[in-house]
């Protein structure tokens, strides 16, 4: 059976981005238009990321040696290293909006991309380089022999990974592990705060029936506010046990449909984090990143989320298993 090629993936990404712009989700930036358009930059960085080429000078050299890719991107010449570095750091907000658009756009293409039932979770990624012990970090002191330290990273802890010095990827996906929203912060940034920042998009734009999350997202006022907006926030709510509203909520989450949604949480978002790590080429329990600094890490993790999103859309079009990302990684490498 024929499989999609690099050209097919690039055309799909270009088509999706053009739709994204036409829908008005992208804001027009003031000043002179870019010489190298955003959609082509996104494709270039996606190709380089799948090839595990993260240094901007190496990306430029690779593009010089592959004129067919330059033609595919519709560029007349190769960008300078400083241009690549600057544009990479600027892409995060566009990628966030593009991923959110794709989430809603794809729901019309395939029932498996439905956003009726969503899942929210966070995964930690270790910063590239050595760790900065909290005692030194609190004092702003960098030991003399500590080289290549990522000072933007912070300490975070999860039940599975333990303590990690790095960053947190906050993902919203559906029950088929299709990404809907993405946000990247330092490891210490609380999950509850991220959900509050996503709330407007979830409640008024996506408008799912349910959103399942773990106990860290439990908050009585949030649960009640979301219910008034027609969205059921399903969490174990282990810290909300007293009072008639709490008792009613715990009876509610024990209903068969709600129990099913809570159980599906682990079989959707956790495999998705594994897919992202596989595309990124990071292995091990702590998933070490290939790049430093918050601005770069934000774009890196948003790009890999977009990569999986596009892979799943193309898999749906070509009749391939949704989570089979090996076809995409083969085409891009």
Q: Tokens for 213?
A: 């999350």
- Determine the pLDDT at residue 7: 93
What b/e readout covers 143-179, taking b as 16+ CB neighbours within 10 angstroms?
Answer: eeeeeebbeebbbbeeeebeebbbbbbbbbbbbbbbb
Contacts of 192 (CB under 8 A, 6+ apart): 216, 217, 219, 222
CB atoms within 10 A of CB 64: 11
What does the domain layout of the chain look like in residue ranges? 6-98+293-332, 114-275
CB atoms within 10 A of CB 75: 17
117-126/162-174 β-pairing: antiparallel
pTM over 0.85? The answer is: yes
What b/e readout covers 254-273, taking b as 16+ CB neighbours within 10 angstroms?
Answer: eeeeeeebbebbeebbeebb
* Structure confidence by residue, pLDDT tens digits, 237-254: 998 888 899 999 999 999
* Structure confidence by residue, pLDDT tens digits, 10-63: 999 999 999 999 987 444 555 556 667 999 999 999 999 999 999 999 999 999
Residue 186 confidence (pLDDT) above 90: yes
Read off the DSSP letter of residue 205: I
């Amino acid at each position: 059976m024929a499989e999609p090629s690099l050209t097919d993936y690039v055309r799909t990404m270009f088509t999706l981005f053009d739709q994204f712009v036409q829908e008005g989700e992208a804001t027009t930036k003031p000043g002179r238009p870019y010489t190298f358009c955003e959609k082509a930059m996104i494709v270039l960085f996606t190709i380089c990321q799948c090839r595990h080429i993260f240094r901007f000078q190496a990306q430029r050299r690779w593009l010089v040696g592959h004129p067919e890719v330059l033609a595919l991107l519709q560029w007349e010449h190769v960008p300078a290293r400083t241009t690549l570095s600057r544009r990479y750091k600027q892409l995060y907000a566009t990628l966030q909006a593009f991923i959110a658009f794709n989430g809603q756009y794809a729901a019309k293409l395939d029932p498996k991309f439905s956003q009726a039932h969503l899942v929210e979770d966070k995964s930690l990624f270790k910063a590239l380089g050595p760790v900065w012990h909290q005692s030194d970090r609190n004092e702003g002191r960098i030991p003399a022999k500590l080289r290549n330290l990522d000072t933007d990273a912070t300490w975070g802890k999860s039940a599975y990974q333990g303590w990690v010095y790095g960053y947190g990827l906050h993902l919203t996906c559906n029950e088929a592990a299709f990404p809907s929203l993405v946000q990247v912060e330092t490891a210490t940034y609380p999950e509850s705060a991220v959900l509050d920042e996503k709330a407007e998009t979830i409640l008024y734009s996506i408008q799912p029936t349910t959103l399942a999350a773990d106990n860290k997202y439990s908050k009585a006022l949030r649960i009640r506010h979301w219910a008034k907006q027609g969205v059921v926030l399903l969490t174990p709510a282990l810290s909300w046990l007293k009072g008639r509203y709490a008792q009613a909520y715990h009876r509610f989450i024990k209903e068969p449909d709600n129990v099913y949604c809570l159980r599906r949480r682990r079989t959707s978002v956790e495999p998705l984090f594994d897919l992202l790590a596989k595309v990124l080429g990071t292995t091990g329990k702590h998933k070490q990143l290939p790049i430093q600094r918050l601005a770069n890490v934000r774009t890196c993790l948003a790009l890999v989320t977009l990569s999986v999103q596009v892979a799943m859309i193309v898999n749906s079009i070509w009749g391939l298993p949704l989570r089979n990302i090996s076809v995409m990684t083969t085409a891009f490498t």
